[in-house]
Amino acid sequence: MKRRTFLASALAGAALLGGCKREEKASFAISKRNKITIKLATSWPANFPIMGERVERFAKKVAQATDGDVVIKVFAKNLLVPALQVFDACSAGQIEAFHSGPYYWKGKNPAFALFGGFPFGFTSNEMGAWMLFGGGLELWRELYARYDLYPLLGGNTDVQMGGWFRKKITSLDDLKGLKMRIPGLGGEVMAKLGVNPILLPAGEIYTALDRGTIDATEWVGPALDIKMGFYKVAKYYYSGFHEPGSVLELTFNKKFWDGLPKDIQQIITSCSNELNTTMVYDFQDKNAKALQKLKKLGIHLQKWPPEIVKAAKKALMQVIEEQSAKSEDFKKVWDIIEPYWMQNREWSVLGLKNYLEMRDG
């Protein structure tokens, strides 16, 4: 029996037994509320695997959980708003919500990059812990409130691969002058190692790599990389340190969010928590499967030489210092991240790393 029908008959029964007056009975009536429509623009192409699919599923869950009271219309990139203007459009109230990644907005505030993750930073598990229990999400909301935005956790790509290289990299010298498509803090770290970081729209990366306009590119991991076809033109596929657990955001216009009924806020938050966790499992499942396919396509799986890893760690600390000197907000966020990062690393090594060594060593 549907909840409303059940309640209605229970109330009718109570009215008969108690001999309620007509007016009192009417006050118990449950009226269907007005529909709430939410325009949600994403930074992803239509039918984008995992990230796009999960957002569509989130919208369906919210519709089911509210019995159709809340309708979330998901728009792929550029349909309603250009991919990298969703932040501004939502801030201005032109759309109610967006799905994207906070590292895209580091030009607005360098600190936003840190909510997306950082090289040698949190794993997806550690990142979730920092967001929910280490003050991360609270701090993120505080900084986004200045733009009239309210972020919810919108998923995590899990550990990303270091990228596709046309030539094998054996030393720091091999990186000098190398042109690589790599955004964010990872790009800044690579720049300190002599790499020339290039930003290219997704649609142009393959051709640039094929023609040798760029020497290397990172993207995400096996599941999404295989669809881009990079393996056909760059055979060396490196494990990564630059995006160990990149956060995606499901962000609302704050005025709109604050005006939503509390139960709707709770339902959307619960559904976004589901989106957040299931996306990591989806990446795990599809990356594992795609890796098996890639291995049959003649690629060479590589690990970075220790001298590059060591130099990249040093470069990271330089980048952090420079950004902290330039931006008070960056420093504020980093000062909260750093002790939490150290504490979690110790536990993750003792628990997870040692286990993986025993399992796979």
- Residues near Ca ion (CB under 5 A): 160, 243
Cβ proximity to Ca ion: between 17 and 199 the closer is 199
- With CA atoms as reference, report the closest residue to 285 among 222, 238, 240: 222
Query: Is the backbone of residue 120 left (phi > 0), alpha (psi -120 to 50) or beta?
Result: left
- HSE-CB at 183 with a 13 A cutoff on CA atoms is 19
Cβ proximity to Ca ion: between 157 and 324 the closer is 157
Q: Would you give the end-to-end CA distance of the chain in angstroms?
A: 55
Instruction: Kindly state the smallest distance separating residue 231's Cβ from Ca ion, in Å.
Output: 16
Instruction: Kindly state the smallest distance separating residue 181's Cβ from Ca ion, in Å.
Output: 9
Question: Which residues pair with residue 237 across a beta bridge?
Answer: 164, 301
Contact 268, 184 (CB under 8 A): no
Three-state DSSP state, 122: coil
DSSP string, 216-278: EE--S-HHHHHHHTGGGT--EEEE-SS-SS-EEEEEEEHHHHHHS-HHHHHHHHHHHHHHHHH
Instruction: Kindly state the smallest distance separating residue 182's Cβ from Ca ion, in Å.
Output: 8
Contact 233, 305 (CB under 8 A): no
Instruction: Kindly state the smallest distance separating residue 260's Cβ from Ca ion, in Å.
Output: 33
Q: Are strands 36-42 and 149-156 parallel, antiparallel or unpaired?
A: unpaired
Cβ proximity to Ca ion: between 139 and 294 the closer is 294
Cβ proximity to Ca ion: between 37 and 239 the closer is 239
Three-state DSSP state, 98: strand
Cβ proximity to Ca ion: between 96 and 243 the closer is 243
Instruction: Kindly state the smallest distance separating residue 195's Cβ from Ca ion, in Å.
Output: 15
Instruction: Kindly state the smallest distance separating residue 164's Cβ from Ca ion, in Å.
Output: 12
Cβ proximity to Ca ion: between 225 and 329 the closer is 225
Cβ proximity to Ca ion: between 42 and 160 the closer is 160
Instruction: Kindly state the smallest distance separating residue 160's Cβ from Ca ion, in Å.
Output: 5
Instruction: Kindly state the smallest distance separating residue 68's Cβ from Ca ion, in Å.
Output: 37
CA distances from 319 to 136, 194, 197, 219 (A): 20, 14, 15, 22
Instruction: Kindly state the smallest distance separating residue 218's Cβ from Ca ion, in Å.
Output: 5
Cβ proximity to Ca ion: between 95 and 280 the closer is 280
- With CA atoms as reference, report the closest residue to 264 among 103, 100, 67: 67
Give CB contacts under 8 A, 24+ apart, made by 348-356.
348/123, 348/125, 348/126
Instruction: Kindly state the smallest distance separating residue 9's Cβ from Ca ion, in Å.
Output: 55
CA distances from 329 to 47, 117, 158, 326, 336 (A): 36, 15, 26, 9, 11
Cβ proximity to Ca ion: between 91 and 157 the closer is 157
Written as one letter, the residue type at 254 is: K
- With CA atoms as reference, report the closest residue to 283 among 237, 241, 250, 245: 245
Cβ proximity to Ca ion: between 122 and 150 the closer is 122
